[in-house]
Amino acid sequence: MDQLLLVIDAGTTSTRAMLFAADGACFGSEQRDLTQHYPAPGLVEHDAEEIWARSLECAEAMVAKAGGADRIAAVGITNQRETIVFWSRRTGRALAPAIVWQDRRTAELCRSLKEAGHEEALRQCTGLLLDPYFSASKIAWAMANWPELRDAGDDLRVGTVESWLIHRLTGGLHITDATNASRTALMDIVTGRWDDALLGLFDVPRTALPEIVDCAGRFGETSLFGAPIPICGMAGDQQSAAIGQACIAPGDTKATYGTGAFVLTHTGAERPVSHHRLLSTIAWQLGGARAYALEGSVFVAGSLIQWLRDDLKLLGFAAESEALARSVSDNGGAYIVPALSGLGAPYWEPSARGAISGLSFATGRAHIVRAALEAMAHQTHDLMTAFASDGAAWECLKVDGGMVANDWLAQDLADMLNLAVERPAFVETTALGAAMLAGVGCGMFSSLEEAVPMRGNVVLFEPRMAEAERKRRLHGWRRALDAILAS
């Protein structure tokens, strides 16, 4: 048997390790849940030592499954983005809790920086917005509030989750890949370097930050598994999923429908500029050359189905939504605007709240559930319009994530977007992307293009809805949305 690729996928709610062959076949997967700490409303922390311990356990299980470290050609890492870790260079131990991407403790800080007029310069440099989501304000907060970090001086190391894992895997290497660095709001996405003005603005000590490197290459070795294994691939989770979905050419687009929905369109070698509040980000960096992407995030996707199931008790289980949606011929006039935690791209209305509209006595449970699923296509349609207006029109949408197991939803996306929708048979695209990068980094493939066959077969959903029906739906959605935006 040829050598395998080991992927560590350090996600928000769990950490996993997976084994892949060069043809994309998955030989095993091990998963451990991660404790979520909520010290106060709006605050979300992880124990960095737990992230490391669970990742190591999963990786050890996969090395054993492979038959030993010499059976593994390379390690690839993908991770929850923006979450920030603080540790000691000397001891390698975490010095403080990791502040998770969802944490809103810096909302006030971001608001005051915005009011002081800093957003435009930050947007120009990083492609992002002044929002607590990104790492920079979290570092500023930690430096101001956790004295042990200031006291650490030159011993302090700060990095996103892949940097932390690499430090522990290699016993001291301090690097980050360009995709993860592009989510910190500290990196100039054109030069690929930390930006001194932003380091100053957020009071981030430059000596604590990692070196920014490519997404594939021979970065270092880990000797924790019996024999040395090179670490050869790295990317943040959404970029990794885009690679796993073979979004290799400009215009290629993937949408992941999990708890929220994340859409990335590869835009090529030039940094894109959005005029519709989409984020500009790095798709990957190889051989020092950067490929760019536009990104749009929808806050509420699968969590709407969870809410219908757990709080409204309209569903016994998530997959039941498919049969219910099929049991009625239309939404009966009901529309859901799922702004349960504000509206993300392209509206960016954090204080908007959700609504179910168009109700009558004829509205039943199935109509509401159908309206919830329809909201996914409606939100994606508005993103598609924003992407097209920014010069990144979609020709096909490559979908993944837990929700797209729902065939009705996949067909509705094709119908409402009037686009072909592709769903790969193997849906773990995030881990697959990291495996592809590791394969490129260790020389198993000479380019990302050569790694694309790892993606395997796809199921295609072709649009087949009558234009009048599409228009009727979009009109109903627009009315419901406008009512929310006006309130």
What are the residues binding ligand ADP (CB under 6 A)?
13, 258-259, 302-303, 305-306, 318-319, 321-322, 401-403, 405-406
Smallest gap from residue 460 Cβ to ligand ADP (A): 19
Smallest gap from residue 401 Cβ to ligand ADP (A): 4
Q: Which is nearer to ligand ADP, 283 or 324 (CB)?
A: 324
Q: Which is nearer to ligand ADP, 155 or 322 (CB)?
A: 322
Q: Which is nearer to ligand ADP, 227 or 323 (CB)?
A: 323
Smallest gap from residue 102 Cβ to ligand ADP (A): 11
102 touches 44 (CB < 8 A): yes
> Which stretch of DSSP H or E encloses residue 365?
helix 365-389
Smallest gap from residue 321 Cβ to ligand ADP (A): 5
DSSP per position, 42-70: T--EE-HHHHHHHHHHHHHHHHHHHTSGG
Q: Shortest Cβ contact with ligand ADP: which residue? A: 402
Give the three-state DSSP class for 82.
Answer: coil
Smallest gap from residue 304 Cβ to ligand ADP (A): 8
Pick from 167, 157, 158: which is nearest to 231 by CA? 167
Pick from 282, 272, 256: which is nearest to 193 by CA? 282
Backbone phi, then psi, for 132, in 5-degree steps?
-60, -20
Q: Which is nearer to ligand ADP, 258 or 338 (CB)?
A: 258
Q: Which is nearer to ligand ADP, 232 or 305 (CB)?
A: 305
Smallest gap from residue 221 Cβ to ligand ADP (A): 30
Give the three-state DSSP class for 240.
Answer: helix
Sequence-distant (≥ 6) Cβ neighbours of residue 350 within 8 angstroms: 342, 343
Q: Which is nearer to ligand ADP, 47 or 322 (CB)?
A: 322
Q: Which is nearer to ligand ADP, 238 or 274 (CB)?
A: 238
Amino acid letter for position 21: A
Q: Please state the three-class secondary structure of 92-153 as a single string.
A: CCECCCEECCCCCCCHHHHHHHHHCCCHHHHHHHHCCCCCCCCHHHHHHHHHHHCHHHHHHH
Smallest gap from residue 14 Cβ to ligand ADP (A): 8
